Chains A and B, each alone.
Chain A
């Protein structure tokens, strides 16, 4: 039956695709020399082959394979077989036998290796079939004795990928190949060719990955491989040792040349540590990386990695770290270094010094000092991982991490700062360590400084001097790099709230208050003063005695800052200031803070007042919008929500206003002037709806419906206004039809949401749909007008999280009076540095716009690499914008701003695909209404003074 089926398929192939295989056949027959044949095959390989014709092609290739004498052509055929078997949808089991048969008489080692590779491809496509796998493994075992390394290599790879993993299967098929695959592979650990040894280890690792439990006996073999001459072998062996140490951490292994025994994981740890000082940097990177994930290692061994056991002239010497620690604990700080300060102390017993076989000793010290920065980074990462799981180790590795802050490569510095941040909850910084950390604040790289601020946010400091030191250094940083303002304030906020008791004794000094004299009031706009206040107010939050130390103006400044920088200054309970912090009423759960409540209440108020007179509605809306906008400014966490609703209400207000106009009651031509207002309103609503849809992250489909509904209303309004103001019916035909199409697609897109929209514009419209389709444009307009006026105001449900995309251009600052001069016709590069928040996929959407005074606008797409991602929801754009213009007579300002590009089609797809109900309707979406593309400016424009000079002749 099988035979018949095959016949059938091949016959069918001849009918449908006669050309493909036949052409190849003809070509190959025509070929006079092997070179020709190779050419044909190369050409053939460039074209894809359909699934149906694969088998036919394979047969023809095989036929030629047997006839061919030239090894290179056979090699190509063998590789083509592999390529063809990869074709999706093709099941290669029918060609497996042939492929295995070809192996039998092959003499060329290269071709053999290629054929085995083909078998590997076939085997990986048929992994479900155990008998196929068995057969292939058997074939591979047979060729393991080949004299060529390439063939042995491939055999081992094949065994690794296809060897039986489950014990049960091996027992069932008690054939000769069911021998222990591990044993077979293990035998090749001592192969004479390093490539084969590598392949054997890799095959073993592959088996492990596929779920086979490796035997512990391999451990001893793997350890020997660590001393191999070849780096690939050593690198793979390190991996294997690591795997084994994770499998059998608690096994006991003997220490050679002594009677002692230790845990396997400790032994492996020692061995991998040893490899951190290997001759090849590839191995060193590998070893350093793996160290990080060996968390079961005993702390005794772990702590050795940081100890190098210094000596000088055979006398024990203390490290600089130890000396610093002692200096600190003796109460003396920052003494000048003296000659002989590091003089070695006690004599050491020469016999006890172990220079090399000390296992883990000093592994990280070496790794962190390595020549290649790749190794250093790997070591820092490993330190981080180990420190996270062991607080005592974290304490110890601190000194080393702090040292890394001075590395010559910025990447390493950054990595060590990040690492320190990650382990900072386990540690408290000593003063001298803090000193070194703070020294980095002067780094000219913004990334480094910001990372350091982040680190300081979550650092524990032990003394008040430490806090003072940190503050002083941060203020120094502030004067040197004023753009770091926000980041420094934020840093001080956390520093204050973490160490209230340490800040308390510093308050009088910081505020420069005096028990007897009044001191002058500091300048409220001074960023440094604000920084100090941020620190104090945040400390005062959990330290009720602190406000007693404030002077009068401090309270005034508090009120001001609480208002203007509400995200940095917490609410305080100040004596005699009830206004600021209202007594906490028991009804409010901590979850719902008053501002959230306020938002809800004001929204409900608006939604409930459906039937007020138009004037009242308008006023109420205006007030609510104002309230919401204010709320957004005050409460940063609610800003997105408040702005979103405010925009929605604004749209509603505009719509109501437009409908209130008198033009509707009067003959059209008379009110040309006023209808400008209505059409402007319609236009603005449209813009606002796009903003609502694309500028906020976290918008759900419920909101999208409402937004689209609002947009539909705006379009209706536009249609009505046009109908009113234009004469003649022809243009109306087109517009009406388009509008009806949109209604239709709205219905199709949002069919599941329609039940929630009772009494809305679209609901009514859909009821009237049959009538609308048949009636004339003027009729349609009339119906639209009435429905628009009668329709109710839709409730806008709020999602859990809503954030507005914001952008802030840090550079250029727009304050420079010196024009940027350049020769006209040439370009000048302008550095743009901006922070983006809550922008999804900034690489695709954020553009830079440059507006020249002559109205010329230029949009620049930054490279994806220009975006960095310092934290969730935050992005940083650092790019260069090239400017050019013809010569001007005097300098003038250009505007630079950021735009958020949107495409209604794309966003719809991305927003709605997760909802299964959508996926079908999406496919049927008509092409016509895709692609409404546009941009939303979402940053304040910055003015840059430029001056293109005429070129000198």
Chain B
């Protein structure tokens, strides 16, 4: 039985280091190639030796697909392709291809330049790696080789995020990557057609959460910022450079525009500027509002948001500053935070989750006195706010996507085991499909029942449909023909043609059967009685009494002779060809039951 095998090298019952191996109909595909943020040793990258101990990866993998530019989905790519060695194609969408190297370079800089690690990939490796990338468009079907094809669907989440359908023949797998079913200020919602894949591999970050409407969150955020600015206070929003930052920028920009506000908004420079440039370019990947209005004005050409300069932090008067990094653990955001923390008019808004041990986590958990390096104590008087802006689908969203795609099996990755358990149970209960949640390194095998396409000649099709009733879509239909398997292709042809093509002579197969019945009458009378009986029972068939004393039902021949020993027993000889097997066996069983008592 054909099967699909899935082995997560990362992201199996875990978040981070997404890397999933799929083998489908003899093709091996690797989905995502990410790093783990929690580790700094070998565990940060997936264990590629699982694929092959010796020998090049290229021989074992047909292609690699990257769903979006977050490092936990693409961070190990240069290591994988340049250091481990892979020369096959890497597929990603255009925005991902554009933004991915920026992030990789940044990651490299932090690891090598700041932390001083050696034996890490170099800038040149990133460049070489990107040369192997093939960019795809949304809904474009790309033929990787003759059998394997992939297709990208919009996934929301971040700019350029995509879900991929991998298809070989009639078997298919959909990998969602990270996706978002509710649109936000700059991206639309994920969408997929009813492609009915054999397997849907879905992320499940928020498997046990049903989220509130995002409008309340947005409104709260805007209100907080607005109030502070009106009071003359300064607002600090620590963000990571890409993704949410752009959403918040758009949100504030439009709000400023609408409300005619004058207070300046700054964005710390660097990475962001480069990335914003790409956001401007890939308008088709954004949401309806931005796509519709970009003719008048590109929403990413911010009017109110300007580049930040270190000196601005000391300027009097209200202002809003976006600064990196997002957890207040180092860099510009921490510097600004130190400057502003002492004034109760100011505010810091944490738009995302903070890891334990960071300043961000401390202030969120209510700490008001922070010990900084050099033993100085920083008293936090400014207001601290938390606003969650997350771009993953919640439980309802995941269910909605499953409903849209109608898969035959579901496999959950990218989430915590306990939460997955709940969702798995729900999916099995509500959709009646199998659901799997393998751990890292664990292989899940899914048996598929693919439909096999067979070519049929038009003549045969017409002939056969003409015999039967009108074709009914939902019901299978019986057909007579010869199945020919030749050069990996299947054809259904009429028997005559098959004989001709194969150069065989036609043989006839005839079944003959004798039926003994007790009948005291004369032979020809018996024949007559049989004839009358059959005629009465088989109203739809032509039953004929031939002059030579035999009976035909369609092409089935029945002859009656008296038994040589016992005249009271008559032997009925029933003979039919192979084609009439159905009717023939029916007739025999009918005759075996005997004739009804005489009616004449």
Chain B residues with Cβ below 8 Å from A612 are: none
Chain B residues with Cβ below 8 Å from A404 are: 215
A192–B220 Cα gap in the complex (Å)?
Answer: 51
**Which chain B residues numbered 398 to 443 have a C-beta less than 8 Å away from chain A?**
399-400, 403-404, 419, 422, 425-426, 430
The answer to whether A279 touches B191 (Cβ under 8 A) is yes
Contact of B260 among A338, A362, A370, A442 (CB under 8 A): A442
**Which chain B residues numbered 196 to 228 have a C-beta less than 8 Å away from chain A?**
208-220, 222-224, 226
A406–B251 Cα gap in the complex (Å)?
Answer: 10
Chain A residues with Cβ below 8 Å from B214 are: 369
The answer to whether B260 touches A480 (Cβ under 8 A) is yes
**Which chain B residues numbered 511 to 545 have a C-beta less than 8 Å away from chain A?**
none
A254–B426 Cα gap in the complex (Å)?
Answer: 24
The answer to whether B219 touches A436 (Cβ under 8 A) is yes
B194 near A: Cβ within 8 Å? yes
Chain A residues with Cβ below 8 Å from B385 are: 336-337
The answer to whether B259 touches A442 (Cβ under 8 A) is yes
Contacts A313-B419, A355-B396, A443-B259 aside, 17 further interface pairs with beta carbons under 8 A come to A145-B470, A308-B210, A310-B211, A313-B208, A314-B419, A319-B216, A320-B216, A320-B217, A321-B216, A337-B386, A339-B364, A355-B430, A365-B213, A369-B213, A370-B183, A439-B226, A480-B260
The answer to whether A312 touches B216 (Cβ under 8 A) is no
A592 near B: Cβ within 8 Å? no
Chain A residues with Cβ below 8 Å from B191 are: 279
Contact of A444 among B212, B216, B257 (CB under 8 A): B257
The answer to whether A409 touches B365 (Cβ under 8 A) is no
Chain A residues with Cβ below 8 Å from B183 are: 369-371
A99–B214 Cα gap in the complex (Å)?
Answer: 61
A190 near B: Cβ within 8 Å? yes
The answer to whether A355 touches B260 (Cβ under 8 A) is no
B588 near A: Cβ within 8 Å? no
The answer to whether A444 touches B222 (Cβ under 8 A) is no
Given A190-B474, A337-B385, A408-B254, are A311 and B213 neighbors across the interface (CB < 8 Å)? Answer: no
* Residue in B closest to A371 when the chains form the complex, CB atoms: B183
Chain A residues with Cβ below 8 Å from B27 are: none
The answer to whether A357 touches B189 (Cβ under 8 A) is no
B459 near A: Cβ within 8 Å? no
* Residue in B closest to A278 when the chains form the complex, CB atoms: B404
Chain B window 163-203, contacts with chain A (Cβ cutoff 8 Å), 1 for yes, 0 for no: 00000000000000000001101001101111000000000
A478: shortest Cβ distance to chain B, in Å?
A: 14
B477 near A: Cβ within 8 Å? no
A320–B385 Cα gap in the complex (Å)?
Answer: 15
A524 near B: Cβ within 8 Å? no
**Which chain B residues numbered 252 to 298 have a C-beta less than 8 Å away from chain A?**
254, 257-260, 287-289
* Residue in A closest to B404 when the chains form the complex, CB atoms: A279
The answer to whether B216 touches A308 (Cβ under 8 A) is no
B123 near A: Cβ within 8 Å? no
Chain B residues with Cβ below 8 Å from A337 are: 220, 224, 385-387
A304: shortest Cβ distance to chain B, in Å?
A: 14
B471 near A: Cβ within 8 Å? yes
The answer to whether A314 touches B366 (Cβ under 8 A) is no
Which B residues form the contact surface with A (CB < 8 A)?
182-183, 185, 188-189, 191-194, 208-220, 222-224, 226, 254, 257-260, 287-289, 364-366, 383-387, 395-396, 399-400, 403-404, 419, 422, 425-426, 430, 470-471, 473-474
A309 near B: Cβ within 8 Å? yes
The answer to whether B193 touches A308 (Cβ under 8 A) is no
Chain A residues with Cβ below 8 Å from B474 are: 190
The answer to whether A371 touches B396 (Cβ under 8 A) is no
A191–B474 Cα gap in the complex (Å)?
Answer: 10
A361: shortest Cβ distance to chain B, in Å?
A: 9
Chain B residues with Cβ below 8 Å from A388 are: none
Chain B residues with Cβ below 8 Å from A354 are: 430
Chain A residues with Cβ below 8 Å from B422 are: 314, 350
The answer to whether A339 touches B384 (Cβ under 8 A) is yes
Chain A residues with Cβ below 8 Å from B365 are: 339
The answer to whether B287 touches A320 (Cβ under 8 A) is no
Chain B residues with Cβ below 8 Å from A145 are: 470
The answer to whether B220 touches A320 (Cβ under 8 A) is yes
Chain B residues with Cβ below 8 Å from A409 are: 289
A450 near B: Cβ within 8 Å? no
A357–B432 Cα gap in the complex (Å)?
Answer: 13
Chain B residues with Cβ below 8 Å from A480 are: 260
A229 near B: Cβ within 8 Å? yes
**Which chain A residues numbered 565 to 580 have a C-beta less than 8 Å away from chain B?**
none
Given A192-B473, A279-B404, A406-B222, are A444 and B215 neighbors across the interface (CB < 8 Å)? Answer: no
Chain A residues bordering chain B, tally (CB within 8 A) = 49
B356: shortest Cβ distance to chain A, in Å?
A: 13
Chain A residues with Cβ below 8 Å from B387 are: 337
The answer to whether A403 touches B430 (Cβ under 8 A) is no
A337–B227 Cα gap in the complex (Å)?
Answer: 13
The answer to whether B386 touches A368 (Cβ under 8 A) is no
Contact of A372 among B218, B224, B260, B288 (CB under 8 A): B288
A806 near B: Cβ within 8 Å? no
A712–B393 Cα gap in the complex (Å)?
Answer: 79
Q: Which of A229, A350, A355, A444 has the most CB of B within 10 A?
A: A355
Instruction: Report 13 cross-chain contacts, Cβ distance below 8 Å, ordered by A residue.
Output: A190-B473, A192-B471, A314-B208, A319-B213, A336-B385, A337-B224, A339-B365, A356-B430, A371-B183, A439-B223, A444-B258, A445-B258, A480-B260
A321–B191 Cα gap in the complex (Å)?
Answer: 29
For the complex of A and B, 8 pairs with smallest distance between CB atoms: A320-B216, A371-B183, A403-B215, A192-B473, A339-B364, A442-B259, A356-B399, A371-B189
B328: shortest Cβ distance to chain A, in Å?
A: 14
Chain A residues with Cβ below 8 Å from B470 are: 145
* Residue in B closest to A279 when the chains form the complex, CB atoms: B404
The answer to whether A312 touches B215 (Cβ under 8 A) is no
A353–B419 Cα gap in the complex (Å)?
Answer: 14
A808–B422 Cα gap in the complex (Å)?
Answer: 65
The answer to whether A356 touches B400 (Cβ under 8 A) is yes
A170: shortest Cβ distance to chain B, in Å?
A: 25
A44 near B: Cβ within 8 Å? no
* Residue in B closest to A145 when the chains form the complex, CB atoms: B470
Chain A residues with Cβ below 8 Å from B220 are: 320, 337
The answer to whether B425 touches A313 (Cβ under 8 A) is no
The answer to whether A355 touches B288 (Cβ under 8 A) is no
A400–B219 Cα gap in the complex (Å)?
Answer: 12
A191–B217 Cα gap in the complex (Å)?
Answer: 47
Q: Which of A279, A400, A480 has the most CB of B within 10 A?
A: A279
A79 near B: Cβ within 8 Å? no
A318: shortest Cβ distance to chain B, in Å?
A: 9
Contact of A408 among B185, B223, B383, B419 (CB under 8 A): B185
B407: shortest Cβ distance to chain A, in Å?
A: 14
A787 near B: Cβ within 8 Å? no
The answer to whether B189 touches A310 (Cβ under 8 A) is no
Given A353-B426, A356-B400, are A279 and B211 neighbors across the interface (CB < 8 Å)? Answer: no
Given A356-B400, A356-B403, A373-B288, are A313 and B222 neighbors across the interface (CB < 8 Å)? Answer: no
A864–B68 Cα gap in the complex (Å)?
Answer: 48
B182: shortest Cβ distance to chain A, in Å?
A: 6
The answer to whether A308 touches B212 (Cβ under 8 A) is yes
A320–B388 Cα gap in the complex (Å)?
Answer: 13
The answer to whether A356 touches B219 (Cβ under 8 A) is no
Contact of B430 among A310, A338, A357 (CB under 8 A): A357
* Residue in A closest to B191 when the chains form the complex, CB atoms: A279
The answer to whether A403 touches B219 (Cβ under 8 A) is yes
A668: shortest Cβ distance to chain B, in Å?
A: 68
A645 near B: Cβ within 8 Å? no
A365–B181 Cα gap in the complex (Å)?
Answer: 13
The answer to whether A403 touches B213 (Cβ under 8 A) is yes
Chain B residues with Cβ below 8 Å from A338 are: 366, 386
Chain A window 191-203, contacts with chain B (Cβ cutoff 8 Å), 1 for yes, 0 for no: 1100000000000
* Residue in A closest to B218 when the chains form the complex, CB atoms: A406
B196: shortest Cβ distance to chain A, in Å?
A: 9
A679 near B: Cβ within 8 Å? no
* Residue in A closest to B224 when the chains form the complex, CB atoms: A337
A312–B207 Cα gap in the complex (Å)?
Answer: 9
